[in-house]
């Protein structure tokens, strides 16, 4: 007898993917390097003709219906998506409901079997969906590139293998937590001559409808962890993408629906809910009492609104102001090259991009020399200039500017005050003559200009800030993180005591620090299965990808006890 026995079980796909799940769980615990999906485009891994075939598929999509979704709908909407590389509208039509509330009704109707399905069946289905997504990594790359402005290689890696690894991480952690305790046991308590015996049954109960709110710059990487975390824990999911970046996540949702249907589940368990800027539906969905879980990536103001909604469990990643603290370096050039790449990568449109560079106004030690403040700043400026003007590396690194609002912010940044050390300029791309692009602008500010540099300036806007000494640099960086949030911090020092002090101060404000990065390791990067992305310890977000809390808050445990006398 099992009071809470799952109604629907199919272990075939779990058996197929069991090795992957076990390796992923091991990687989560060891925090060592692990990647299920190789990050470089490879004909041997992803198919000899896959890139060419999927490029054709992408080229046929603009102006047409995205008809691969199996979900119910009563209308089609044409998206606001526009390529920042060509400045042409994609004009893709997606299946939709005319009223937001219909998504709630549909996912609830599709939920019954999934909520009563065991963890192994769920895990197998979800792993199979990732394998299908793997078969579309090139189309994912082209669609990401032409909605977000990421370069092709970055689009492939971030929306393909890296995102799939983060999704697998969520599945593995969710599966582990669901199976951590026994489903049933016989409980015996010695009580003198007679033992007390009970049968105990335990079940995990999903919280309810989950809403995954996507962002414009990383429509897959920031969406799939919450999407898969909710699914593995038994919840139905409505995916509400950003109006400007629907196509990439639509591919993922289509593959999930495909595998669900093949295995006897209702496709409406996961629904894409597209909208347009003229008729946004995010708030209507978020405020619906049936929605119990919300994943959100975006602005601080909207994130705070999400966090304030009563009766919801929210997982947010909001704006942060990331700092680089420069105390001393072994090699000034190596440091400058490294941070120049971090400033320029995807034109600073990453939540991990550094904005504020704190440097003592008296200069720093570089190797066995003392280097004045001005020379340190010049080294960074020259490194950025050399990178973005390189005919091949420049366009590949900076990509394009996703939104007109970001482009406008960059063009107006020189009016913020201070001394402009490097002007922003268009980055020419011979393949895309109409590209919307901008190289970084670097502005020198005094430490007193906190009202300017303690605001997030999304895009390639960097401030070089002259401080009294490293102590003040640390105080300003940590204070900014405490009050306004930070997702990471970079620091350069050859002094172990200074390193310990910086690490301690930044840990107190929930901000991880990367020390002395040079070469091909950058502060922007976060490795799946090893790095925790966002800590939840400061205003930049209330959750972390991916710790146990990220899955535990999506379900509850309930027990029953039976006395057989």
Average pLDDT for residues 270-290, to the nearest whole number? 98
Q: According to DSSP H, which parts of 36-81 are helical?
A: 43-46, 50-60
Q: How confident is the model over 367-395, as a mean pLDDT?
A: 97
Please write the tens of the pLDDT for every residue from 544-556.
Answer: 999 999 999 999 9
User: Mean pLDDT in the chain?
Assistant: 96
b/e per residue, 312-342, with b = 16+ CB within 10 A? Answer: bebbbbbbbbbbbbbbbbeebebbbbbbbbb
Tens of pLDDT along 345-365?
Answer: 999 999 999 999 999 999 999
Question: 135 falls in which pLDDT band (50, 70, 90)?
Answer: very high
At residue 1, the pLDDT reads 44
The first and second tokens of residue 351, run together, are: 């939540």
Share of the chain above pLDDT 90, in %: 96
Can you tell me the mean pLDDT for 196-220? 96
DSSP summary character for residue 62: T
pLDDT at 110 over 80: yes
Ordered by where they begin, the domains of the chain are: 67-318+543-562 (3.40.605.10), 323-515 (3.40.309.10)
Among 10-14, 105-109, 236-240, 329-333, name the one with the lowest average pLDDT.
10-14
Quote the pTM value: 0.96
Which of 338-342's residues contact partners 24+ apart within 8 Å by CB, and which partners?
338/517, 338/518, 338/519, 338/521, 338/522, 339/380, 339/383, 339/490, 339/523, 340/380, 340/383, 340/384, 340/386, 340/387, 341/387, 341/397, 341/522, 342/490, 342/522, 342/523, 342/524
pLDDT over 70 (residue 2) = no
The pLDDT tens digits for 473-522 are: 999 999 999 999 999 999 999 999 999 999 999 999 999 999 999 999 99
Is the pLDDT confidence value at 5 over 70?
A: no
Q: pLDDT per residue over 147-168, tens digit each? A: 999 999 999 999 999 999 999 9
Phi, psi of 214 (to 5 degrees): -85, 165
Please spell the DSSP secondary structure of 229-260, one letter per residue: HHHHTT--EEEE--TT--HHHHHHHHHHHHHH
> Which residues face 293 on adjacent strands?
210, 313
Query: Using CA atoms in the order 418, 463, 460, 166, what is the torsion angle rounded to 10 degrees?
Result: -160
Biggest CA-to-CA distance, the chain: 89
Q: What does the DSSP assignment read for 517-530?
A: --TT--TT---TTT
Per-residue pLDDT, 3: 56
Residue 532, C-beta contacts closer than 8 angstroms, at least 6 positions apart: 512, 544, 545, 546, 547
Query: What confidence score (pLDDT) does residue 6 get?
Result: 64
Residue 20 is inside which H or E element, if any?
helix 12-30
Q: What separation in angstroms does the CA of 136 have from each of 143, 206, 274?
A: 11, 30, 21
pLDDT band for 303, please (50, 70, 90 cuts): very high
Q: 303, 137, 304: which is closest to 221 by C-alpha?
A: 137
pLDDT, one tens digit per residue, over 518-545 is 999 999 999 999 999 999 999 999 999 9
Determine the Cα–Cα distance for residues 356 and 191; give it in Å rounded to an integer. Answer: 67
Whether the predicted pLDDT of 4 surpasses 90: no
From the list 25, 19, 11, 16, the residue with the least C-alpha distance to 118 is 11
Please compute the mean of the pLDDT values over residues 100-117 and round it to a whole number. 97
Instruction: Please determine, for residue 7, whether its predicted confidence score (pLDDT) is greater than 80.
Output: no
Place of tokens 């946004």: 280
């Amino acid at each position: 007898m099992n009071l809470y026995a799952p109604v629907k079980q199919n272990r075939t796909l779990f058996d197929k993917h069991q090795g992957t799940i076990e390796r992923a769980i091991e990687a989560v615990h060891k925090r060592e390097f692990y990647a299920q999906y190789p990050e470089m485009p490879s004909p041997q891994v992803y198919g000899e003709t896959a890139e060419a075939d999927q490029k054709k598929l992408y080229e046929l999509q603009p102006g047409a219906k995205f008809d691969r979704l199996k979900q119910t709908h009563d209308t089609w909407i044409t998206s606001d998506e526009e390529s920042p590389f060509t400045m042409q509208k994609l004009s893709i039509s997606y299946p939709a409901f005319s009223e937001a509330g219909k998504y709630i009704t549909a996912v609830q109707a599709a939920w019954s079997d999934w909520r009563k399905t065991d963890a192994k069946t769920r895990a197998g289905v979800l792993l199979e969906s990732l394998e299908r997504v793997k078969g579309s990594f090139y189309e994912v790359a082209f669609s990401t590139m032409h909605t977000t402005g990421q370069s092709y290689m970055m689009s492939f890696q971030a929306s393909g293998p890296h995102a799939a690894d983060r999704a697998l991480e969520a599945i593995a952690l969710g599966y582990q937590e669901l199976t951590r305790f026994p489903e049933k046991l016989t409980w015996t308590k010695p009580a003198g001559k007679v033992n007390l015996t009970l049968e105990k049954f335990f079940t995990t109960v999903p919280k309810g409808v989950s809403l995954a709110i996507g962002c414009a710059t990383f429509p897959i990487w920031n969406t799939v962890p919450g999407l898969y975390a909710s699914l593995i824990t038994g919840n139905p999911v409505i995916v509400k993408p950003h109006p400007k970046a629907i196509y990439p996540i639509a591919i993922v949702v289509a593959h999930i629906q495909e595998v669900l249907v093949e295995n006897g589940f209702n496709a409406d368990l996961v629904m894409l809910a597209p909208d347009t800027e003229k008729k946004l539906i995010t708030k209507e969905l978020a405020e619906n009492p049936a929605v119990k879980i919300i994943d959100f990536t975006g602005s601080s103001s909207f994130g705070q609104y999400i966090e304030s909604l009563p009766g919801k469990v929210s997982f947010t990643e909001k704006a942060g102001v990331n700092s680089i603290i420069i105390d001393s370096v072994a090699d000034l050039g190596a440091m400058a090259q490294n941070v120049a790449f971090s400033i320029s990568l995807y034109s600073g449109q990453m939540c991990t991009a550094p904005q504020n560079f704190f440097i003592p106004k008296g200069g720093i030690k570089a190797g066995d020399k003392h280097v004045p403040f001005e020379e340190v700043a010049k080294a960074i400026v020259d490194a950025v200039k050399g990178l973005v003007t390189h005919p091949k590396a420049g366009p590949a690194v900076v990509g394009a500017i996703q939104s007109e609002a970001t482009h406008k912010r960059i063009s107006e940044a020189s009016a913020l005050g201070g001394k402009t050390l490097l002007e922003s300029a268009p980055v020419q791309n011979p393949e895309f003559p109409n590209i919307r692009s901008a190289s970084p602008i670097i502005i020198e500010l005094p430490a007193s200009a906190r009202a300017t540099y303690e605001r997030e300036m999304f895009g390639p806007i960097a401030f070089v800030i002259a401080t009294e000494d490293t102590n003040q640099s640390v105080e300003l960086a940590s204070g900014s993180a405490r009050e306004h949030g930070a997702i990471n911090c970079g620091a350069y020092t050859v002094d172990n005591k200074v390193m310990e002090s910086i690490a301690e101060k930044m840990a107190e404000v929930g901000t991880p620090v990367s020390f002395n990065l040079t070469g091909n390791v950058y502060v922007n990067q976060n490795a799946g299965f090893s790095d925790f992305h966002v800590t939840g310890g400061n205003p930049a977000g209330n959750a972390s990808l991916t710790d146990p809390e990220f899955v535990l808050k999506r379900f509850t445990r309930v027990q029953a006890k039976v006395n057989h006398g």
